[in-house]
Amino acid sequence: MARIQVPAILGFYDDGHDLLEVTTKAREAEGFKNLDAYTPYPVHGMEEALGLKASPVGTIARIGLVSGAFLGFMLQSWTSAVDWPINIGGKPFVSWPAWIPITFESAVLLAAFCNLLSMFAFCGLYPRPKTMILSKRITNDRFVLVIPVSGEEEEKRAIAFLQSNGALKVKIVDGIDHEKQQVIFRAAPLEAAG
């Protein structure tokens, strides 16, 4: 579970398209900030609906690709022309056409490592003793919109918004009990829809 701001309002949906529409409305029309969404599979367009910036992971992988190609080429140049130069059959010491496969493989290897490590870093994927989950059905067949709220007025407005936009269920996250590794919920009032 990603870290969520407490208190937060959760709106449960059973269709990714509905969640996408509600997320766009919540951010653009209602002005809610720092939204998050949990889906069982990627929903095309969700990044734009949440207002997320482009990930730097691709740029880091490209830097790793170019660095890997450079390092692979330079290693072959150094070993063949400087460290242990051997003239075999009149071949030049810097025989770059023969080095293309190793240069390519070292580029791909370093790009893959950079991609993996940057994904771990930016996604916060590190070992945790126990992961708290918001609901057992979130990654199974439910789509959830998380709206962090800062006051009672914003909480009522978020509940009314979710209920009026077809949420199957609305929950309020009141806190997190770190000792028991549990999320503390409170029921959303039904009259907020009216």
Residue-wise pLDDT for 139-189, tens only, equals: 788 899 999 988 888 888 999 999 999 888 888 888 777 777 777 787 777
Q: Looking only at Cα atoms, what is the longest distance across the chain?
A: 89
Burial grade of 162 (CB within 10 A; 0-12, 13-18, 19 or more): buried
Q: CA triplet 159, 177, 22: central angle to 5 degrees?
A: 25
Grade residue 192 by pLDDT with cuts at 50, 70 and 90: very low
With residues binned 3-state (H G I as helix, E B as strand, rest as coil), the percentages for the chain, rounded to 5, are 45, 15, 40
Q: Is the dihedral of CA 57, 63, 69, 72 positive or negative?
A: negative
Domain ranges of the chain: 8-53+128-193, 57-123
CA distance linking residue 20 with residue 11, whole number of Å: 12
Amino acid present at 172: I
Q: Note the pLDDT of residue 31.
A: 85
Q: Note the pLDDT of residue 29.
A: 86
Closest CA to 101 of 74, 69, 78, 79: 69
| Residue 128 token pair | 């945790």
Query: What HEC string does 13-38 produce?
Result: ECCHHHHHHHHHHHHHHCCCCCCEEE
Backbone torsions φ then ψ of 77, nearest 5 degrees: -65, -45
Q: Note the pLDDT of residue 152.
A: 86
Residue-wise pLDDT for 46-104, tens only, equals: 999 999 888 899 999 999 999 999 999 999 999 988 988 888 888 888 888 889 999 99
Q: Note the pLDDT of residue 1.
A: 47
Cβ(35)–Cβ(20) under 8 Å? no
User: Which runs of E-coded beta strand occur in 125-181?
Assistant: 143-148, 169-177
